[in-house]
Amino acid sequence: MDDPETVSAPDCPDDHPLLFARVLDGVGAGRPLEWAEARKWQPSQPGEVLWVHLCRNRPGVMEWLEQLDIPEPTRELLVSDRTRPRAFREGNTLVATLRGINFNPGAEPEDMLSMQLWCDGTRLLTLRRLPLQTPRRVLAMIDRREAGPTDAGALITELTEAMINRMNRSIVDMNEHIDELEEAEADDDAEEMLEKIAIIRRNCLGLKRHMGPMHEALEAISKYAPPWFEEHDRREIAESIDRLRRYLEDLDISKESAVVLMDDIRGRSIARNEQATYLLTIVAGIFLPLGFITGLLGINVGGMPGVDDGDAFWIVVALCAGILAVQLALFWKWKWL
C-alpha cells in the first residue's frame, strides 16, 4: 500500500499550488484571494493577516517561498516528506510540522497526515500533500463569519485545537470497540475477536507514535513562539497540550484494556480446550477396562468360558455394569467428576 504522504492529492490544481487564501479582517471574517493576488499581497491596514493554504508538491511553491526570503533549509522543510512533528522559532517567524488523523476514505486511524506551517505574524502559510479536513473546518468558520480567528496567533491555535479534537474521535471509536468486545459472549469466535483486538492495539501504537512528538511540538510553540503570538494564544496552546496529554493517557488505557481483554479471551479459550481434553480423558478412563474385558472375551481361541452358556452374555453385561459403577464411585471419591 502506498504511503499516505507520497501520493498526490486529487484536489490539487494542476497549474498552481493554491488551495485557498483568505485575508483576515481582524474581527473573525475574511475575504478570498486568487493565487496571483496572494503572491503580491501586502497589508493595507493594521491587523490584516493573510492565510494561504497550499498543496506543497505543486509548481510555484518553492519560488514563492524564496520570494518571501525564507531561508533555504526552512524552505526544504516546508515542502519535504519528513513529517515528524516539530516546531521552532526562526527570528520573528514560527515554523512547525503538525500531524492529524487521516479521515479520508479507506484510511486507517494510524495513517497520519502532515501539515507544515510558517508564520511571521502577518502571513500564515500552511502546506499539505493529501486532503486535510482541519483547515477546511477553520475556513468554514471564517467564511460564515461566526467568530473565526482574528489574528495569526488565534488562527494557529484554532488549527491545532481542531486537529487535536479530531484525534479524540478515533480514540473514542477504539474505546467503543473494546467495550463491545468486552460485552461479547464467551462462545463467540475467539480468533475473530483476537484479530480485532490486534488491530486496536496497532492503532493505539500508531497514534501514540505520532501524538508523542506532536505533544513536544506544541510545547515548543508555547515556549518559543515570537512576540506576535500573544499571551492568550499561549494559554490556548497550553489547553491543547493538556488535552493531548489526556488523549495519550487514554491511549495507554485503551492499550492496557486491549491486552487484558486479549489475555482473558485466550484464557477462556485455553480453559475450554482443557475442559474438552479432561472430558475425553475421563471417557477414555471409563472405557479402558471395559474395552480390555470385551477384547479379552472376544478372542477366537478354544477354552473360552461361557461359549455354550445361554446366560453368559448377560453375565458379561452385568460384570461391565459393575465395573462401570465402581469406576464412577472412585472418580467421584477422587473428585475427578
Distances (CA, A) of 213 to 6, 168, 210, 218: 21, 17, 6, 9
Mean pLDDT of 207-225: 84
Alpha carbons 310 and 73: distance in angstroms, whole number:
106
In a 13 Å sphere around the CA of 105, the CA atoms on its Cβ side amount to 2
Q: What is the mean pLDDT of the chain?
A: 80
φ/ψ region of 2 (left if φ > 0, alpha if ψ in -120 to 50, else beta) reads beta
Radius of gyration, CA atoms only, the chain: 35
Residue 171 has pLDDT above 60, yes or no: yes
Whether 177 and 197 have beta carbons less than 8 Å apart is answered as: no
* pLDDT for the residue numbered 330: 79
The x, y and z cell numbers of residue 60, run together, are: 510555484
Taken as a whole, the chain contains a residue count of 337
Q: Say if residue 1's pLDDT is above 50.
A: no
Mean pLDDT of 207-211: 75
Q: What is the pLDDT of residue 296?
A: 72
- What is the spatial order of strands in the sheet that 18-24 belongs to? 30-32, 18-24, 49-55, 123-128, 112-119, 93-101, 86-90
Distance CA 197, CA 208 (A): 16
Query: pLDDT, tens digit, for every residue of 9-32?
Result: 445 666 778 999 999 887 777 889
Q: What's the N-to-C CA distance of the chain in angstroms?
A: 55
Backbone angles phi, psi at 114, to 5 degrees: -100, 155
Report how far apart, in Å, the C-alpha atoms of 67 and of each of 40, 58, 94, 154 are. 10, 16, 17, 26
Residue pLDDT, tens place only, 92-120: 999 998 887 765 555 555 567 888 999 99
Q: What is the pLDDT of residue 124?
A: 93
Q: How far apart are CA 42 and CA 245, in angstroms?
A: 39
What confidence tens digit (pLDDT) does each residue in 43-63 have? Answer: 888 778 999 999 888 888 888
Yes or no: say if 93 and 156 are a contact pair by the CB < 8 Å rule. no
pLDDT at 264: 79
Confidence of residue 311 (pLDDT cuts 50, 70, 90): confident
